[in-house]
């Protein structure tokens, strides 16, 4: 599955679960709500909890990690 296909699957209604996007430079961007990220074939935009934007290339993504609720 390509990175874009995985993001499409994560965005599909009824399938969202919190996750983090880990970039090749080591940054880890948590995505706790489905509207926090948008993408196309080449770029991704993630909003953090303060609505600050992080924009990067799809090719900058290293992996996805599942986020599990604490407690």
Write out pLDDT tens, residues 12-38.
888 889 999 999 999 999 999 989 999
pTM strictly above 0.75? yes
Which residues face 55 on adjacent strands?
A: 45
The DSSP annotation for 18-57 comes to: -EEEEETTS-EEEE-SGGGEEE-SSEEEEE-TT--EEEEE
* Phi/psi of residue 68, nearest 5 degrees: -110, 135
- Residue 20: name the closest of 70, 68, 71 by CA: 68
Give the pair of three-digit tokens for residue 18.
């919190």
Between 23 and 70, the more confident residue is: 23
Between 49 and 55, the more confident residue is: 55
Q: Is the pLDDT of residue 69 over 90?
A: no
């Amino acid at each position: 599955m390509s990175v874009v296909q995985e993001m499409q699957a994560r965005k599909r209604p009824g399938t969202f679960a919190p996750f983090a996007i880990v970039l090749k430079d080591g940054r880890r961007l948590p995505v706790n709500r489905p509207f926090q990220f948008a993408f196309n074939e080449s770029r991704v935009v993630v909003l953090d909890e303060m609505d600050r934007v992080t924009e990067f290339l799809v090719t900058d993504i290293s992996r996805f990690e599942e986020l599990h609720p604490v407690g």
